[in-house]
Structure 1
Amino acid sequence: MQKVKWGILSTAKIAREHVMPGMQAGKYCDIYAIASRDLAKAQEIAKAFSIPKAYGSYEELLADPEVQAIYNPLPNHLHVAWSSKAAEAGKHVLCEKPLGLDAADAEKLVKVCREKSVLLMEAFMYRTHPQWVQAKKYVEEGKIGELKAIQVFFSYTNLDPQNIRNRSDIAGGGGLMDIGCYPISQSRFIFGKEPKRGLALINRDPAWKIDTLSSAILDFGTGHVTFTCSTQLFPYQRVNMLGTKGRLEIEIPNNAPENKPTRMFYETADGIETITIDTCHQYQIECDLFSKAILEGSPLPTPPEDAIANMKVIDALFRSEKSGTWETV
């Protein structure tokens, strides 16, 4: 079976613990090379994952003619720069979220990839998980009636001042960019359209200056979305979708476990039904679908323009933080 030869830009935790194991379990992925600014570290991870090539710089990996696609899990402020370099080298790009630091930044990358005729996708792995595929189907089929509201909560605790997400001297930090992008993406996915305006209340750490608690309202015209995300609260996540005839709840909507089933709860006037989703690896599904798009020309799970639309909402919420009022998306 033909497989795509992947290169991994950096030895980031998300790559080591989730994406690379997903790729190695996939049908269409072959991790051919990995790069780090520290050659010894690249060699260590390459040995652990049986990866043929290890490079001491990202440039060397991008210059390798065998590499067909790259996965970019670098810090947010490096997404556009290194993904653009990859595109210019003729590599397809799967880039971690958020795609850029703002919508204009994301547009630059989309333009480069389009000009170089390479595929680009923002790595929102949740969209390929069967629980979200089924949730979308339930809503579209009217099983909860007319969708009117979505409520999302997503939090974790990160009190390390040196963590890249907590450093205000480096662009792209804070909770809204790191995890707030999920409820925005999820609500746009389920409503199947873009919000008209957004209102945000954002608290920032007094020392670090990055946002650590954000709550927002998104107005979709036919319904509303409310969400709260935080990087300094007890870890928790949940999504509730409410319609005129029922509701649908996803228990672990974002980092669904790779070693056990997940659950959704479907409630109507007839009672509550627990829907069990078989164990699966959402990163494997994501990377296989991207690889198939390269090999067979099949559609991407999400087009790159979706990433721009998501950033426009984030931009509006940051404007709302400053203006204290609704901001048009």
Structure 2
Amino acid sequence: MLNTIRWGILGASKFALEQMAPAIHLASGAKLAALATSSNSKALAFQALQPDLRIHDSYEALLADPEIDAVYVPLPNHMHIEWTLKALDAGKHVLCEKPLAMNASDFDQVIQRRNSTGLLAAEAYMILHHPQWHKAKELYEAGRIGKLLYVDGIFTYDNSADPDNIRNKPDTGGGSLPDIGVYTFGSARFVTGEEPISVDAQIKRENGVDVFAHVTADFPSFRYNSVTSMRMFPRQYMAFHGDKGVMKLNCPFNPSVFGQAELTLERAGMVTETLRWPETNHYVLQVESFCRSIHTEEEYLCTLEFSRGTQEMIDMVLATE
């Protein structure tokens, strides 16, 4: 039996409490062992989940803990590179929330440090661990929709009532593109294996961050269209439209929160196939995949190189302004 990976979390964020701490707790081969926070009240919320959780009052103290094997980093976006590198230098494997970097070139130093240390470092891009996306890729590669011509996606929510949210602040790496553009862009790249040739965008900003982005792009074999926004009623959807059929994912990104994961394949003759995953937790699968990759030669599903490619597309979009 493989040894259990002992996890520490840098920072007591709301998302860490609601999603990743429970996922680490539930994942096979993982143990939630430590948390770095100076807030007693926040620490108590995590200890309710894991009573023997060790609490460190600084990030540095957690990284110095010899009983921690891997670190999850849910800090504000602008702090991701700094603490990912510090964790690697401390001899810890690192799973960092997306976006790992604010521009593609910043990935290079993490890739170099990963290679030189031999440790696993990755972006917490959970959707690649959900079976609906592997089924989508399988159906696409099997030619079930014929020649792909058009990909359409949307991911929206409204946080206008929360101006102090880090996503609404430019100094913490806010904006809809860093936060959720990674999903509409990355999922299209994952299924098709293609990279954009050119992009165009209409972007609306408030307080220096993009709150709406309509992006169109030409890929080698298809046209791409997406909308991301932090000022619209919540909606998420991805569709892959070919000359022989269309494949739709109605809850592609947050199936544990937004609704039930469902993939529908429509083909000629009104033939429709629908697959559903009502119980799958992609955060748990993400942790389990990370732990397996530490112990074995199994390549982690979301490599730094893949995440860098998504950031390159975001950089291309921002360069259109």
- Once the two structures are TM-superposed, the CA of residue 44 in structure 1 deviates from its matched residue by 4.2
- RMSD between superposed Cα atoms in Å: 1.6
Task: Name 2:152's counterpart in structure 1.
Answer: 151
Q: 2:251, 2:260 within 8 Å by CA — same for their partners in 1?
A: no
Match of 2:306 in 1: 306
Counterpart of 1:161 in structure 2: which amino acid? P
1:151 partner amino acid? D
Counterpart amino acid of 1:304? L
Per-residue deviation at 1:257?
A: 1.8
2:95 maps to a residue whose letter is L
Q: Which residue of 1 aligns with 2:204?
A: 203
Tell me which residue corresponds to 1:231. Answer: 230
5+ long unaligned stretches in structure 1: 322-329
1-side partners of 2:38 and 2:54: how far apart? 14
Distance 1:40 1:291 in 2: 30
C-alpha distance in 1 between matches for 2:45 and 2:126: 26
Q: Share of identical aligned residues, percent?
A: 34
Residues 237-284 of structure 1 deviation map (CA, whole Å, 9 limit, x = unaligned):
011111110011001000112797521111001322222224111000
Q: Distance in 2 between matches of 1:87 and 1:145?
A: 44
Within 5 Å, give how 1:112-127 maps onto structure 2.
112-127=113-128
User: SS of the residue aligned with 2:118?
Assistant: coil
* Separation (CA, whole Å) in 1 of partners of 2:46 and 2:24: 15
Partner of 2:62: 61
C-alpha separation between the residues in 1 aligned to 2:201 and 2:291?
A: 37
Whole-Å Cα distance in 1 between the matches of residues 232 and 92 of structure 2?
39
- 1:37-91 Cα deviation digits (max 9, x unpaired): 4355334423443343111111010000111111111110010000110000010
> What is the 5 A alignment of 1:87-166?
87-159=88-160, 160-166=162-168
Separation in 1, partners of 2:12, 2:280: 24
Q: Distance in 1 between matches of 2:52 and 2:289?
A: 21
Q: Is contact 2:201-2:215 (8 Å) kept?
A: yes
Q: 2:124 and 2:178 mapped to 1: Cα distance?
A: 14
Gaps in structure 2 of 5+ consecutive residues: none
What is the rounded CA distance, in whole Å, between the counterparts of 2:56 and 2:40 in structure 1? 6
In the TM superposition, 1:27-106 aligns within 5 A as: 27-106=28-107
TM-score, normalisation: structure 2 = 0.95
* Cα deviation, residue 209, structure 1: 2.3
- Assess if the C-alpha contact under 8 Å between 1:213 and 1:230 holds in 2: yes
Q: 1:259 to 1:199 in 2, by over 3 A?
A: closer
Q: Deviations over 1:200-226 (max 9, x none)?
A: 110112xx1211000111211111111
Which letter maps to 1:291?
Answer: C
User: Whole-Å Cα distance in 2 between the matches of residues 54 and 175 of structure 1?
Assistant: 33
1:167 matched residue in structure 2: 169
Distance 1:86 1:228 in 2: 35
Contact 2:77 2:101 in 1 (8 A): yes
For the residue of structure 1 that corresponds to 2:215, the secondary structure is strand
In structure 2, what is the Cα distance between the partners aligned to 1:259 and 1:161?
A: 22
Per mean C-alpha deviation after superposition, the further-off stretch among 272-281 and 35-44 is: 35-44
Deviations 1:268-323 (A, max 9, x none): 013222222241110000110000001223110121111111111111110012xx
**2:307 is the counterpart of 1:317:** no
Aligned twin of 1:248: 247
Is contact 1:34-1:46 (8 Å) kept? Answer: no
SS of the equivalent of 1:65 reads coil
Letter in 2 for 1:56: D
Question: Paired residues, what number?
Answer: 318
Q: Which runs of 4+ in 1 moved over 2 A?
A: 37-44, 46-52, 258-262
**With structure 1 as the length reference, what TM-score do the two structures score?**
0.93
Structure 1 residue identity aligned to 2:275: I
Instruction: Give the stretch that moved more between structures: 74-83 or 2-11.
Output: 2-11
- Which is further off, 292-301 or 149-158? 292-301
Local SS of the residue matching 1:228 = strand
The residue type equivalent to 2:18 in the other structure is E
Following superposition, the deviation at residue 3 of structure 1 comes to 1.3
Separation (CA, whole Å) in 2 of partners of 1:259 and 1:184: 19
Alignment pair present for 1:212 and 2:211? yes
